[in-house]
């Protein structure tokens, strides 16, 4: 028998798989593969329970978090690059302002933001995802949850955050950015701040959004108000704090109005 602990490792919820036991595909892949039609009847109902358990575990573990901000960005950046440094500084600035920092728990920008938050004395959270290659939560994660399903994990990024900070990144980051913007645009979440960091990196995309998307009538003028663009971690934090304050003010005004209406009804 070979010593399995020397080879790659895969985590599936509480289960650790090594060597031959590692399946050739991920849970997301098996769920979404339309060629496995013959499994839909027999396996998908059970998958639904597994999916449900991811939501339950996420809700249980994260419901006690202090106010938090989700930070997204490339999995590929290496330490010592200006972008890594930016991610670390924004993680630290958020922590100093009292926010827990939630990332995808992986390498690159995620690790940098977790490091910045942890070193600044903040709470550093990583929501990992099962991938077809070996992957573990980065060393700076203090609360870590491994998800099988992208969509369950995405719910947690939104539900437990007061805002999003989006650093330079690839497809994964774009997916997270545009999901956030869509949720705000369609009012599925209360208007919440989305900060893009790295002005040079985002310039081309923003030009295209203005020049093609907006001009072509695919979004409204106000949709662009949803985005704050900066290179300054303190400005990013300030923008999120202001948005939090605006939400708190609106809630207080509504509570006062409700109270007034209730008083009038009883007098
Ligand atoms: C590609 C490499 C590692 C992948 N590991 C990941 N771990 C956790 N989260 C990830 C990973 N890859 C993507 N994500 C999520 O998408 C965003 C980054 O994607 P991008 O395409 O690199 O921009 C990130 O915010 C994560 O939530 C190499 O070692």
What pLDDT, in 10s, does the model give residues 167-201?
999 999 999 999 999 998 888 887 789 999 999 99
The full length of the chain comes to 267
Residue range 61-91, pLDDT digits in tens: 999 999 999 999 999 999 999 999 999 999 9
> Does residue 106 line the site of ligand 1, with CB under 6 A?
yes
Q: Where are the domains of the chain?
A: 62-252
Distance 112 CA to ligand 1 centre (A): 13
Quote the pLDDT of residue 5: 55
Beta bridge partners of 230: 197
Q: Which atom of ligand 1 is nearest to the CA of 72?
A: 25
Quote the pLDDT of residue 1: 42
Residue nearest to atom 9 of ligand 1 (CA): 104
Quote the pLDDT of residue 130: 87
Nearest in space to 21 (alpha carbons), one of 36, 4, 6:
4
Nearest in space to 241 (alpha carbons), one of 251, 249, 253:
249
What are the structure tokens assigned to 230, written together? 């900066």
> Does residue 169 line the site of ligand 1, with CB under 6 A?
yes
ipTM of the complex model: 0.94
Those residues of the chain that have pLDDT short of 70 are: 1-7, 12-15, 34-37, 40-42
The helix (run of H) or strand (run of E) holding residue 164 is strand 164-166
Q: Are 125 and 157 within 8 A, CB to CB? A: no
CB-based burial, 41-50: b 16+ in 10 Å, e otherwise: eeeeeebeee
Count the alpha carbons within 13 Å of 136 in the hemisphere toward its beta carbon: 8
pTM, two decimal places: 0.86
d(C-alpha 118, C-alpha 121), whole Å: 5
Distance 74 CA to ligand 1 centre (A): 6
Quote the pLDDT of residue 14: 62
> Does residue 72 line the site of ligand 1, with CB under 6 A?
yes
Domain boundaries 62-252, corresponding CATH code: 3.40.50.450
Chain-centre distance for alpha carbon 95: 16
Quote the pLDDT of residue 133: 80
């Amino acid at each position: 028998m070979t010593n399995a602990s020397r080879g790659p490792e895969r985590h599936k919820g509480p289960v650790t798989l090594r060597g031959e036991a590692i399946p050739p595909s991920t849970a997301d892949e098996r769920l979404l593969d339309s060629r496995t039609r013959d499994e839909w009847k027999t396996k998908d109902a059970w998958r639904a329970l597994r999916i449900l358990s991811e939501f339950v575990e996420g809700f249980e573990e994260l419901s006690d978090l202090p106010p938090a901000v989700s930070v997204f960005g490339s999995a590929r950046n290496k330490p010592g690059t200006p972008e890594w440094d930016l991610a670390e500084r924004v993680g630290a600035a958020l922590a100093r302002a009292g926010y827990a920092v939630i990332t995808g728990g992986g390498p690159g920008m995620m690790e940098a933001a977790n490091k910045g938050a942890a070193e600044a004395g903040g709470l550093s959270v990583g929501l990992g995802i099962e991938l077809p290659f070996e992957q573990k939560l980065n060393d700076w994660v203090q609360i870590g949850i491994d998800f099988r399903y992208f969509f369950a994990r995405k719910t947690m990024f939104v539900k437990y955050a007061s805002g999003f900070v989006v650093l330079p990144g690839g497809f994964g980051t774009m997916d997270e950015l545009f999901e956030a913007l869509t949720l705000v645009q369609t009012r599925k979440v209360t208007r919440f701040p989305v900060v893009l960091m790295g002005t040079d990196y985002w310039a081309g995309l923003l030009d295209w959004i203005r020049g093609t998307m907006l001009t072509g009538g695919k979004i409204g003028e106000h949709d662009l108000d949803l985005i704050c663009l900066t290179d300054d971690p303190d400005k990013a934090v300030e923008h999120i704090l202001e948005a939090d304050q605006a939400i708190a003010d609106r809630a207080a005004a509504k509570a006062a109005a409700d109270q007034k209406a209730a008083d009038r009804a009883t007098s």
